[in-house]
């Protein structure tokens, strides 16, 4: 295009800046007068990796979460992005951990004890860190947490539970309605922290230990057994067993395509490679592959182990020949030919039962020996009973039954709420009785015994139509049992 004869000028470049998005479909490109220059030269900025948000994340990877949030909320300028590189919002946290990146800091203190201890070693760091946690992931410690050690435990449970909850395609069971929940706006940071802990070799063992502890504390495997489908993130180990069961169900239904899809998705799961579970998944994957191959072969050829007729080929190293009278077969056939090893014949017309095959003669035997302490992980069977389905007095005498095979007592909080939602307010709690711990106010339940627990309604004005009695795990806040009673105080 009017290229100069002067070699110096001919080598000059022309830069054209178009302050709008490049067209993506053919009709848009035809109407754009600058599209011809993009084809004649080189276009930059129309691919996702060349856009400002991606370039900013590549330039300042430690601020990736903040960059994503800035672009989600508006259109940050270059000046704003430049300031991110040099601005430290949490200088005390930076001094303690060497970073003030939210995702990095949270991952370090949850997975590495030596990093966690530095929070207390720098004066004022804990207060600064708590402000960061409230802003980035919505975490606020419960009032009973007085030390960083207690706050750290609450933080680990909050983070992992909310990753699981935000990833779940269905509503959570009501048993978890009392646990603090993160807003959807915090999803990005929560997912980034969990990914960091699982993907990093120096943090992975700490994550595994934390996830197992939280799963057991919340009885997740038991309380989520009625959820039809879990999410895709790799938060807790119980999901690995659930997915493995789903693969086996698909195999039984001969739905090998969906079984293979799960196997592909779970191939790099942290839990598939933990505690020798990887061997199980490897065996299952090979079995599914074998079945898929076998099905493909069966479509071409039907096989069988033996044939009846007259053997006319002389001796063979791959078959054993019996005379029919030797094996008790009566009929026109003279010989019974049985394939050796795992060899088979292609089926011809006619059918007879061939007897037990070599594969059927193998009886599998599995011996399980426990090498560690067996711990109870399932939800306690607790039942709340009252003589009516309504109440007319501010003191309600509940009957609480705890069923358990082992002789082990547990402690629970038994309280009354003005509704069944997570926002319901407490209107009553257990009062003086033989089973009540005076120090904590918790009820001590003995296994396989019915316990009388009086509930005192604290409010003078209970206007709700119904109240919900709850038996709650005092450590995690998980609701173990509920009972709804109609309010007839005014009758």
Query: In the block, which residue shows the tokens 């590549």?
Result: 58
pTM of the model: 0.60
Question: Over the stretch 306-356, which tens digit does the pLDDT of each residue have?
Answer: 777 777 666 667 788 888 888 777 777 788 888 777 676 665 555 455 555
Question: Over the stretch 385-406, which tens digit does the pLDDT of each residue have?
Answer: 998 888 888 899 999 999 887 7
pLDDT of residue 275: 55
pLDDT surpassing 60 at residue 302: no
**Lowest mean pLDDT: which of 57-61, 113-117, 223-227, 413-417?**
57-61
Question: Could you tell me which residues are beta bridge partners of residue 402?
Answer: 382, 449
pLDDT surpassing 50 at residue 37: yes
187 in Cβ contact with 166 (< 8 Å): yes
Q: What is the mean pLDDT of residues 11-25?
A: 81
Q: What is the mean pLDDT of residues 25-35?
A: 83
Query: In the block, which residue shows the tokens 């704003």?
Result: 80
pLDDT surpassing 90 at residue 158: yes
- Write out the H or E segment, with its range, that includes residue 429: strand 426-430
Residue closest to 421 by CA, chosen among 172, 252, 186, 217: 172
Question: Over the stretch 432-455, which tens digit does the pLDDT of each residue have?
Answer: 888 999 888 999 999 888 999 999
Residue closest to 409 by CA, chosen among 375, 439, 449, 379: 449
362 in Cβ contact with 459 (< 8 Å): no
* 3-state helix/strand/coil string of 91-157: HHHHHHHCCCCHHHHHHHHHHCHHHHHHHHHCCCHHHHHHHHHHHHHCCCCCCCCCCHHHHHHHHHH
Whole-number average pLDDT of the chain: 82
pLDDT surpassing 90 at residue 70: no
> Can you tell me the distance from the alpha carbon of 125 to that of 283, in angstroms, rounded to the nearest whole number?
49
pLDDT surpassing 50 at residue 377: no
pLDDT of residue 210: 96
**Lowest mean pLDDT: which of 41-50, 113-122, 456-465?**
41-50
304 in Cβ contact with 345 (< 8 Å): yes
10 Å CB burial of residue 365 (0-12, 13-18, 19+) is exposed
């Amino acid at each position: 295009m009017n290229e100069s004869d002067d070699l110096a000028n001919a080598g000059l470049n022309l830069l054209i800046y178009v302050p709008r998005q490049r067209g993506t479909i053919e009709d848009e490109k035809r109407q754009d007068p600058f599209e011809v220059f993009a084809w004649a030269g080189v276009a930059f900025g129309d691919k996702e990796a060349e856009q400002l948000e991606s370039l900013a994340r590549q330039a300042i990877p430690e601020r990736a979460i903040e960059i994503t949030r800035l672009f989600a909320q508006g259109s940050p300028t270059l000046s704003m992005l430049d300031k991110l590189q040099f601005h430290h919002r949490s200088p005390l946290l930076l001094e303690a951990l060497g970073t003030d990146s939210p995702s990095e800091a949270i991952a370090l203190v949850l997975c590495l004890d030596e990093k966690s201890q530095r929070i207390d070693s720098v004066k004022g760091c804990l207060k600064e860190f708590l402000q960061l946690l409230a802003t980035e992931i919505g975490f606020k410690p419960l009032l009973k947490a007085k030390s960083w050690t207690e706050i750290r435990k609450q933080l680990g449970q909050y983070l992992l539970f909310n990753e699981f909850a935000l990833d779940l395609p269905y509503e959570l069971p009501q048993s978890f309605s009392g646990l603090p929940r993160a807003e959807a706006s915090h999803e990005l940071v929560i997912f980034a922290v969990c990914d960091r802990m699982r993907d990093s070799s120096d943090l992975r063992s700490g994550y595994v230990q934390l996830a197992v502890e939280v799963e057991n504390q919340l009885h997740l495997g038991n309380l989520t057994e009625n959820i039809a489908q879990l999410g895709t993130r790799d938060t807790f180990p119980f999901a690995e067993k659930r997915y493995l069961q789903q693969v086996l169900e698909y195999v039984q239904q001969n739905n090998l395509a969906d079984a293979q899809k799960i196997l592909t998705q779970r191939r790099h799961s942290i839990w598939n490679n933990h505690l020798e579970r990887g061997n199980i998944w490897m065996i299952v994957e090979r079995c599914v592959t074998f079945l898929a191959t076998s099905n493909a072969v069966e479509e071409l050829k039907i096989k069988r182990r033996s044939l009846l007729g007259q053997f006319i080929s002389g001796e063979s190293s791959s078959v054993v020949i019996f005379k029919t009278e030797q094996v008790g077969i009566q009929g026109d056939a003279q010989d019974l030919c049985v394939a050796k090893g795992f060899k088979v014949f292609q089926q011809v017309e006619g059918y007879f039962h061939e007897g037990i095959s070599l594969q059927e003669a193998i009886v599998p035997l599995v011996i399980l020996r426990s090498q560690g302490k067996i711990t109870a992980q399932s939800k306690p069977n607790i039942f709340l009973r009252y003589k009516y389905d309504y109440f007319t007095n501010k003191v309600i005498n509940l009957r609480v039954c705890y069923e358990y095979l082992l002789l082990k007592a547990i402690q629970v909080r038994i309280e009354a709420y003005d509704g069944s939602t997570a926002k319901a307010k407490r209107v009553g709690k257990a009062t003086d009785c033989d089973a009540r711990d005076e120090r904590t106010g918790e009820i001590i339940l003995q296994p396989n015994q019915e316990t009388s627990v009086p509930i005192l309604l604290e409010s003078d004005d209970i206007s709700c139509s119904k109240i919900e009695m709850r038996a709650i795990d005092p450590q995690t806040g998980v609701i173990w049992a509920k009972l709804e009673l109609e309010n007839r105080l005014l009758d």
